[in-house]
Structure 1
Amino acid sequence: MAETVVLKVAMSCQGCVGAVNRVLSKMEGVDSFEIELKEQKVTVKGNVKPDAVLQTVSKTGKKTTFWEEETKEAPPAIANATATATE
Structure 2
Amino acid sequence: MDLWRIICTPHQTLSDKVVELKVGMHCDRCIKAIKKAIKTIDDMESYQLETEINKVTVTGNVTPDEVVKALQKIGKTATNWGED
- TM-score normalized by the length of structure 2: 0.76
* Structure 2 spans left out of the alignment, 5+ residues: 1-14
Q: How many residue pairs end up in the alignment? A: 70
Alignment counterpart, residue 14 of structure 1, candidates 19, 23, 28? 28
Task: Determine the structure 2 residue equivalent to 1:47.
Answer: 61
Letter in 1 for 2:28: Q
4+ runs deviating over 2 angstroms: none
Bigger CA radius of gyration: 1
Q: CA deviation at 1:6?
A: 0.4
Alignment counterpart, residue 25 of structure 1, candidates 7, 26, 39? 39
- SS state at 2:58 partner: strand
Q: Is the 8 A contact 2:16 2:60 kept in 1?
A: yes
RMSD value, Cα: 1.1
- SS state at 1:68 partner: coil
2:52 is equivalent to residue 38 of structure 1: yes
Q: Is the 8 A contact 1:54 1:66 kept in 2?
A: no
Structure with greater strand share of residues: 2
- SS state at 2:19 partner: strand
Letter in 1 for 2:40: K
- TM-score normalized by the length of structure 1: 0.74
Structure with greater helix share of residues: 1
